[in-house]
Structure 1
């Protein structure tokens, strides 16, 4: 059977081109994704780092003991590290020389937002060397990392968390890739940031570990040596976070490509089996068993799978480096990111390709085994539709689509926060797409009838037959598309896959993004002006104090913090996004989506929570939480908010807000402003602009904040399109083109018969083109229907979560994809038909009749 399968693939290679190309592309994408994901697992060697010259590092790592509902106590790091205890610092200092690292926010006027202040004694830990000037000897002197020699002796201004300062540049160092630093005298750095986040130790590592163990051990600090020292560098953590962020879309892209490839291979082999029905029946007639036919089809798929997987692995290996450069160019990963080619990554991708080929051909092999020997003699040219195939499509499609719709309804009513996360809701979206694809073949006919109902109605009103409504070409194309079930299904299904998948994914992403913008817009609906950071990570205390001191303006200062709570039925302790604000200003300046309780009840012993908070808290009830530094609190729920997962999940007052620690005091994230009655808007605006000028802040309007949020979400949508949809859509396009080429080449007798009946070449080609467009239009209609179901489910869940929010269907993208499908389908259908009709006037039919006689 293997020899026969090889011969079949060699002789009927045109039937397998589509499967080969699509599977090769799928394996290539999977191989590239696996190689890139493997490269993101470990942070690449950054070369020199902040602490690369220190042999041993002791880092602050305060943990709180959390005991799950059933399990052992789990140490959980707190998000706001308070720094190393004084006793531990003294114990480590007894082992040898130590250097304390005091790092906090400081930014020069032209400095980047991640610029930091550090003590000069810690500069040597990163290998800094002065290129001009001298070390800072007084509190009003600084050394600029990466500065210019001509800056030495100049007076510069800089911003810290407590406001604006000035100092004389005593020296400059060479630039380093791992940070942008401004160095102060040790005493001044300690005043800006009293907490010690990292302690560099030069004594024996074992002695340092013993000293740490005696002063609290792993519950308060970690001891790092060797390559582990890179974990103490914030640049290391930032790079690791960026690498993790690309793992999810790459994994989704690989999974979607594998699933799409299954549809592609399955559809192509199903069409191939239908075209080879007589050939397979002849094999049955000469003695082949059903099992042998199934084996033949499976081994054909195996041959195609081996060849396509090998080609895909080669393409994936070649595409690994360009994929890495694309990620670097789009600033998704650091500039030093590279993608090595590993044999095991290619092996995994190739194995998945083989499995995909075998999986995609299972149903086709079963159909091949059901062919009877008599069909070699009795089979007519007219197409017969398998009742078993129709029943399978109806049952499987309705089960998958119905299950997806039921899951959407359940999610919208019970777990609306799931719909606010694209990764969490992806399985629901794929269920809708899969259901539409499975039903595409059986719904294509009704969709075509629906789309062609208008000309028929016009004809009936004029007293003519329905088929005469659009002329002979229209009637022939319509009847051909309705009677040729396999050809219509082969054309419609890829279109449904393209339109539904793009519409469901992008529509849901855009709807989620719009709900986030809606939250911001609703929250700022009562604000007149907003102060936001201008090239800085936040707003300093000087900005806050100046804005608060202005008359006629009520200000709401929002400072980020964290609140920890158990999740997953008490199995883990997780930090949630929270914020602190004055309760009176919070109730009067902003409009939070309160669904129960009142913001006026927020006080030192209470908390305002999102209604998606773990445990479904009720207003008036009490929740046990931990503050950002691990301090336990038992707080009363003052109000519940309808907010999404990306919004603030908890609001607390100052006594319950930990906004400082390692890195210095936290910066305010935003100041929302409301003009009091009688305040002149022009004068207040001018005073506010003057107040924030030169402090790394800008005065904006709520509309500008909404616009910025909208622009950001649109960029995210297009990144998702590029990373997840791109090749999946290409696969479906390949299937569309291949299926039409396969069917048109088998329509030679039909096309010749039309010519023999008197149709001109132009009429025949217009018939083929119109039939193709009908199928593309039917597929587009079904894809839009699937998109409407998916987006409607997301919209219902988000409306239940955050209140009224728009549902977004990406009409422009879907229209562009539908037009692309039409162009591809017309090219793949009309061009082979034109070549078939070249210099022929029905001779093929006459030769066939002569041969039969």
Structure 2
């Protein structure tokens, strides 16, 4: 059976080439993400590094690990989804060949063994190409992480020999899994029905499509509802899952939508033969159209949904920060200079907030395992802090933040083990402290300090090694411009108006959000785009005789090419529309979460990016269809019909 598979592969390598490339890209993405993740997870900051720089470096590694972990999960999902859909389409395109094999004496079991043998062969070839390609992807991915600031300059992922076994397992696993369901379905179709193109061979909406389509759409709806009541840390991952689940569900049910677009096309172009034939081909080739639309749905759903989420979060965070900041100026300066701002004429109140490095110590672990860096802590005066920020504790009170105590800030509220009354074991500089939690602040989309500390418990060397941020309110009737000039003259640092500071924070957050979602969705989008091209190429490879018959019936070569391009444009419109529906579910989920957390239910769409995405999809699919149709119609039509 393996010999027969090898013969089939050599004779019809054009049909299998797309499957090989999809496997190799999937293997490369998974291998690259896994190696970067392992290297980042095993990082240990140099012992001689200053405490604040060490904490920030380790915090960036934690962010990078989370980011690469999400990218790895998305790469695995896309690999399974794209490889499975590609293999299923390839098997469907060969139903006549498989029917002839059955008619010549082949059993259903032998047919399944043939397809599984082909999948194993394609998986091995794809893996062999994917492993070296993964090294190139790894270098590119790590450079992106460094350029976006998630990893330090000089970071280099380390090669691990055991990754070869993982890559082979991924390549063979997704290839065999991708063809398994298709092989069972191909074995159940009666040979004569497959030859005639009737009965079960023409059924596109199979029970499995209905089951998975409804299941994933129901899951997307449930996650969208949960995201609206979840906290900030859970809302974003849930909305990402909404995009994926909705895209898969709509891809499975897309054969129900393609005929609708075909009817619309037929009505619009009912007076033109090319349009009428294109509409008829769409109705007859629903499986082919659905296979092309599926990766488009994923592409548009992921990119539009995730980038819309990033912009919506940024907009809500900016509005929330502007609402909750009750100050006229924000001054960043050395700690010693901050104490002089209160004496500047025209200044009414000041809130001096000092960021300090802090390490959580876990007494139940050994000493060499006890250090776990926190994001950052902020030393404040509770009364001044409440004047500068509109904040109300969820539990406890900031009035109790005196002496040896700690308040859990927006970055840590709601986490297990950080409830009111718990005790945190921390190390600040060389001082070990046990601090009871006296207040828990609400979570915010605009972020905030992980922990709030009262003044007096931080060692002086730690305070002098960092900077202070002072929120300044001017006296009633004072000239704000003059007060700002006097502050600039009295401190060494930057003095920004509160509005300018909020804008700078929002712009920095937007850059970070877009960088995160670019890392997550960038390679996934390229993979899905290639899958679209691959589906168009596979579809055209099996239509040479169909195009020849159309030319012999009176159509010119140019009309046949225009017909193919018109079909691809209609399928692209279907994929873009359903992808937009998937993205809408994501945006509705994040809108509800933002409304509950910040009070601002905003939806910001990246219209330039969406326009470029839709235009690019039509151009890529159209040009691919144009090229494949011209290639398929180049030979003499009489020879193609005769060969068929």
The TM-score normalised by the length of structure 2 is: 0.85
User: Equivalent residue for 1:633?
Assistant: 436
Counterpart CA distance in 2 for 1:340 and 1:590 is: 45
Report the alpha carbon displacement of residue 625 of structure 1 after superposing the two structures with TM: 4.1
Q: Is it true that 1:19 corresponds to 2:14 in the alignment?
A: no
Aligned to 1:808: 604
SS at match of 2:349: strand
Deviation at 1:632, TM superposition (A): 4.1
Please say if 1:785 is aligned against 2:581: yes
The Cα offsets for residues 11-49 of structure 1, whole Å up to 9 and x where unpaired, read as 111111111112112212222233333333444897xx7
Alpha-carbon distance change, 468 to 319 in structure 1, aligned in 2, over 3 angstroms: closer
- Cα distance per residue 1:169-220 (max 9 Å; x no partner): xxxxxxxxx67xxxxxxxxxxxxxxxxxxxxxxxxxxxxxxxxxxxxxxxxx
Pair 1:659 & 2:462 matched: no
- Alpha-carbon distance in structure 2 between the residues aligned to 1:408 and 1:442: 24
User: Are residues 1:505 and 2:306 paired?
Assistant: yes
1:519 maps to 2:315 = no
1:341-352 → structure 2 map (5 Å cutoff): 341-352=159-170
Where does residue 360 of structure 1 map in the other structure? 178
What is the CA distance between 1:236 and its match in structure 2? 6.5
Structure 2 equivalent of residue 672 of structure 1: 471
**Contact kept in structure 2, 1:589 and 1:672, CA below 8 Å:** yes
Alignment of 1:568-579 (within 5 A): 579=378
Structure 2 segments unaligned to the other structure (5+ residues)? 363-369, 427-431
Distance apart, 1:811 and its partner CA: 3.2
* Cα distance in 2 between the residues matched to 1:642 and 1:836: 59
Contact residue 408 and residue 437 of structure 2 kept, 8 A: no
CA distance in 2, matches of 1:588, 1:236: 32
Q: For residues 756-782 of structure 1, give each alpha carbon's deviation from its aligned partner in whole angstroms, at most 9, with x where no partner exists.
A: 444343333222212111111111111
The verdict on how the C-alpha distance between 1:601 and 1:575 changes in structure 2, with shifts beyond 3 A counting, is same
Shift of residue 293, structure 1, vs aligned partner: 1.1
Q: Deviations over 1:666-709 (max 9, x none)?
A: 756422222221112222122112122xx2x2111223223322
Match for 2:421 among 594, 602, 623?
A: 623
Q: Which has the higher helix share?
A: 2
Structure 1 residue 598: deviation in Å?
Answer: 11
Match of 1:72 in 2: none
Q: Mark the CA change 1:836 to 1:515 in structure 2 (over 3 Å): closer, same or farther.
A: same
Aligned counterpart in structure 2 of residue 390 of structure 1, from 203, 206, 213: 206
* Corresponding residue for residue 366 of structure 2: none
Structure 2 residue 353 is the aligned partner of structure 1 residue 553: no
Q: For residues 560 and 360 of structure 1, do their structure 2 counterparts lie closer, same or farther at Cα, with a shift above 3 Å needed?
A: same
Aligned pairs (5 A) from 1:153-232: none
In structure 2, the partner of 1:305 is: 123
Unaligned runs of 5+ in 1: 51-177, 180-232, 457-465, 534-538, 567-571
Does structure 2 conserve the Cα–Cα contact (< 8 Å) formed by 1:390 and 1:442? no
Q: Tell me the CA shift for residue 377 of structure 1.
A: 5.1
Alpha-carbon spacing, 1:740–1:383, altered in 2? closer, same or farther (3 Å) = farther
Q: Which has the larger radius of gyration?
A: 1
Whole-angstrom CA distance in 1 between matches of 2:416 and 2:145 = 40
- Which structure is richer in relative contact order (CA contacts within 8 A, separation 6 or more)? 2
Show CA shifts across 1:103-148 (max 9, x none): xxxxxxxxxxxxxxxxxxxxxxxxxxxxxxxxxxxxxxxxxxxxxx
Alpha-carbon distance between aligned partners in 2 of 1:574 and 1:316, rounded to the nearest angstrom? 32
- 2:409 aligned with 1:613: no
1:738 to 497, 510, 534: 534
SS at match of 1:806: coil
- Relative to the length of structure 1, the TM-score reads 0.66
CA positional deviation for 1:303:
0.4
Q: How does 1:640-789 map to 2 (within 5 A)?
A: 641=442, 643-644=444-445, 646-648=447-449, 654=455, 658-660=457-459, 663-664=462-463, 667=466, 669-692=468-491, 695=492, 697-789=493-585
In the TM superposition, what whole-angstrom CA distance separates every residue of 1:267-320 from its partner, at most 9, and x where no partner exists? 222122222112111221222221111111111111000111011112224555
- Is the alpha carbon distance of 1:506 and 1:765 closer, same or farther for their aligned partners in structure 2, counting shifts above 3 Å? same
* Alignment check: 8 A CA contact 2:341 2:350 kept: no
Report the CA distance shift for 1:627/1:522 in structure 2 as closer, same or farther (over 3 A): farther
Change (3 A) 1:632 1:607: closer
* 1:832 equivalent in alignment to 2:628: yes
CA shift for structure 1 position 323: 5.0
Contact 1:473–1:767 (CA under 8 A) maintained in structure 2: yes
In the alignment, is the contact (CA less than 8 A) between 1:516 and 1:647 conserved in 2? no
Distance 1:792 1:622 in 2: 33
Question: How far does residue 385 in structure 1 lie from its aligned partner after superposition?
Answer: 3.4
Quick check: 2:251–2:294 contact (8 Å CA) kept in 1? yes
Shift of 1:540: 1.2
Which of 390, 407, 410 is 2:226 aligned to?
Answer: 410
2:95 to 272, 277, 283: 277
User: Alignment RMSD, CA only?
Assistant: 3.8
More strand per residue? 1
The superposition leaves residues 804-832 of structure 1 with CA deviations (integer Å, 9 ceiling, x where unpaired) of 14223333323322222222211221222
Aligned equivalents of 1:564, 1:235: Cα separation in 2: 16
Give me the whole-angstrom Cα distance separating, in 2, the residues matched to 1:283 and 1:847: 21
Counterpart in the other structure of 1:435: 249
Question: Per the alignment, do residues 237 and 347 of structure 1 end up closer, same or farther by CA in structure 2, a change over 3 Å counting?
Answer: farther
Structure-2 change in CA distance of 1:318 and 1:650 (3 Å):
closer
d(CA) in 1 for partners of 2:151, 2:441: 38
Moved more, 510-519 or 679-688: 510-519
